Structure 1
Amino acid sequence: MTALADMTDIVVRKDQVRVAEAEATAALDRVVGQPAVPARARLRFGPGRTCEQLARVLDEAIVRAQEAGLDTDVLVLSGATAVAAEDIVRVRRKAHGVADWISSKTSDVTIVLRPRGVVASRSVPVEAPAPAAEPRPRDDRPETGAELAVREALYDVIDPDLGVNVVDLGFVRRVRLDDAGVATITMTLTSAACPLTDVMEIQVKHEMDAIDTEFRVEWEWLPTWKPADITDDGREQLRAIGFSAF
């Protein structure tokens, strides 16, 4: 999340809020122009349809306003946008050890708070989030023998949530060795919001130390990972531990 303040405005943006764009836009339309504290209460408690996820974003904006020395009683929610963002894919555990994938819609949400006396005097520009960067050109040449050896070592890196190695899960996109023998391992995860990047890099380091190879991990989020990226062996392993989505 980023937050910026000029002389009067508090502008807060939070990425990948777990609410669909249409739902978020409809909820924000009901409260834009209202005082900030009552707007938060309406998002949280009604009347009408509520949206706790947006109420939490407004919570953060109100706290920012307080930290900036603004009187929250006179603040108005003067502008807001919601733009569809990348879905978050995660595991859904069911009864008897069965599991499958669940995909959650998300939105990048921007809201603007402004003191009441300023709102009527000028419009509030609310910038939509910048478009996602285009994926870099793919290096699709076959991996060399040394690169395949690095990939082979990565079969021992296990996703702690799924219990399957990162290669068969489709998380390892490319392995490239430079002239000095340093491996660049291009990886992804189920979502850019996944908190496991540090855990994965620690496991990768352990395996690269075992084969005496220097490395760096480059995280690549576009194109987004899909369950279709899982290998046939990976699907068999997931079925064996209770996944039903294959």
Structure 2
Amino acid sequence: MTDKGKLEQEIIAVLKTCYDPEIPVDIWELGLIYDLRVDDEGNAYIKMTLTSPNCPVAESLPIEVKEKVKKVKGVKDVYLDLVWEPPWSMDKMSEEAKLELGFL
């Protein structure tokens, strides 16, 4: 049995090391992660999107996310679902991201 809350926080810390190369803000603060769950066996389920389907990292960013999260101690496997609905918008960004990008 894993401490799911602690594991989720460690996964979030790793997600904050992944960046959309066009925007100097990590994918967590950008709001690209729609859902993150960890089950009792330590499997991580991540639902994410990209800023647009034409994003230049559409193929590489989900792979980077999956590989980095797999390295978190206690994570057994990572199931990543790349979705386009609902579409990403700037409303999904954290206050920190909006401030960093000069939107506040």
1:197 aligns with 58
Q: Please, what TM-score do these two structures have when normalized by structure 1?
A: 0.37
1:163 aligns with 24
2:79 aligns with 216
TM-aligned CA deviation for residue 206 of structure 1: 4.0
Alpha-carbon distance between aligned partners in 1 of 2:7 and 2:63, rounded to the nearest angstrom: 21
The higher-RCO structure (CA 8 Å, 6+ apart) is 2
Alpha-carbon distance between aligned partners in 2 of 1:186 and 1:209, rounded to the nearest angstrom: 15
Alpha-carbon distance between aligned partners in 1 of 2:56 and 2:39, rounded to the nearest angstrom: 29
Which letter does structure 2 place at the counterpart of 1:171? L
Which letter does structure 1 place at the counterpart of 2:94? T
2:100 aligns with 237
Q: Number of residue pairs matched?
A: 99
Which letter does structure 2 place at the counterpart of 1:182? N
Which letter does structure 2 place at the counterpart of 1:203? E
Q: Percent identity among equivalent residues?
A: 27
Q: Please, what TM-score do these two structures have when normalized by structure 2?
A: 0.79
TM-aligned CA deviation for residue 146 of structure 1: 2.3
TM-aligned CA deviation for residue 167 of structure 1: 0.4
Greater Rg, structure 1 or structure 2? 1
Q: Does 1:227 align with 2:94?
A: no
Which letter does structure 2 place at the counterpart of 1:178? D
Q: Whose strand fraction is larger, Structure 1's or Structure 2's?
A: 1
Which letter does structure 2 place at the counterpart of 1:211? V
Alpha-carbon distance between aligned partners in 2 of 1:188 and 1:205, rounded to the nearest angstrom: 13
Give the 5 Å matches for 1:121-200. 144-200=5-61
Measured on the aligned residues, the alpha-carbon RMSD in Å equals 2.0
Q: Residues 199-245 of structure 1: CA distance to partner in whole angstroms, max 9, x if unpaired?
A: 21232134224313221211122111111111011112223xxxxx5
Whether the 8 Å CA contact 2:70–2:78 is kept in 1: the answer is: no
